[in-house]
Structure 1
């Protein structure tokens, strides 16, 4: 892993038993990881958000990108608010998921923290600019994607809606996908492989507050 510190795998949730179907195993993992995330204090979340932004600034694909597709984090997720402002400050266009027409997921451009508002109940904050179309991800030079966990094969565990897997398949060929997780959410596939299904899209790199590493996506 690039960085000065090694990842910590203390209390790594892995409630998977032999013979469990992949879909069931994913749901068990999601429940366990979400519960574990909820235990992290606001102070530690804020520190992690700052560290994640600093680490991402050292990832060549992110540092050199003119257009970055990413997301607005929910309170317990690896924080992206520092990242969004850093990207904007250096002149990158930042594309964020929004709720478009007919409740379809879409993309819109980041226009600063004051423009991010909860525009639908239960949704993360979204920019107020016009929806750019679901294919706006084709403009991105890199995608910084949310994840609940990643393993060293590049397998990503998402939230379960499937939207990111569908969107990631629309990106331009060769555009890398970088996943953000906390240190204990990076799994060793030799002992704790993440369940995977045919529709899952692998990631090319994983970033934690402690560093980043390339993956064999």
Structure 2
């Protein structure tokens, strides 16, 4: 698929997100859907999870549940040149302005790849994902770059894209090229699916 065609698909999913408006809150449903997956984690584990914003699936309760279970939580923060670093998150951490206006991040030291490669599980944002594990992000390439470095450094943690139910598409529904890092699973408010389709937790 050409870059222009891919941009059109991304624009379509961006529009659908905007149309969700204030009705996109899914905190309780998302946390309940993730519970069977989290029950398979040793305690404590190191888990990466982003701070949701706007019409993204709401990760606030998921973060709280991870903390209550005793897991170490790292959240991604944007760096120049489209790179990610990580900061520790706890329920009482202070949020401070990040690289982009309006996108807060936890206060505290920034952690690099050495810490991130120890993550056992990563929840990452997406605009859409399909049953083959192809993920469409917002176009910045932050997560594709990070995941390439994560795997090259020996990271073995499972990567799970978090989307709304209608953004989980059949295999082939999301255009992908060689630079797009596939994911290992998909979390929606309805449940968790390992991809390529192997097992489903609901």
TM-score range normalised by the length of the shorter chain: 0.7 to 0.9
TM (norm. structure 1) is: 0.79
Aligned residue in 2 for 1:5: none
Query: How far 1:120 moved relative to its partner?
Result: 4.0
Q: Which runs of 5+ in 1 are unaligned?
A: 1-19
Is 1:89–2:68 an aligned residue pair? yes
TM (norm. structure 2) is: 0.84
Is 1:197–2:177 an aligned residue pair? yes
Q: Which of 158, 161, 180 pairs up with 1:176?
A: 158
The 1:38/1:63 distance shift into structure 2, 3 A limit, reads: farther
Q: Which of 188, 197, 200 pairs up with 1:208?
A: 188
Aligned residue in 1 for 2:4: 24
Aligned residue in 2 for 1:69: 48
Correspondence 1:8-157 to 2 at 5 A = 20-21=1-2, 23-42=3-22, 44-46=23-25, 48-60=26-38, 63-64=41-42, 66-99=45-78, 105-112=84-91, 115-157=94-136
CA contact (8 A) 2:47 2:71 kept: yes
Q: Which runs of 5+ in 2 are unaligned?
A: 198-202
Query: How far 1:76 moved relative to its partner?
Result: 1.4
- When you count strand as a share of all residues, which structure comes out higher? 2
Query: How far 1:136 moved relative to its partner?
Result: 2.5
CA contact (8 A) 2:95 2:105 kept: yes
- CA RMSD in angstroms comes to 2.4
Residue-pair matches, total: 193
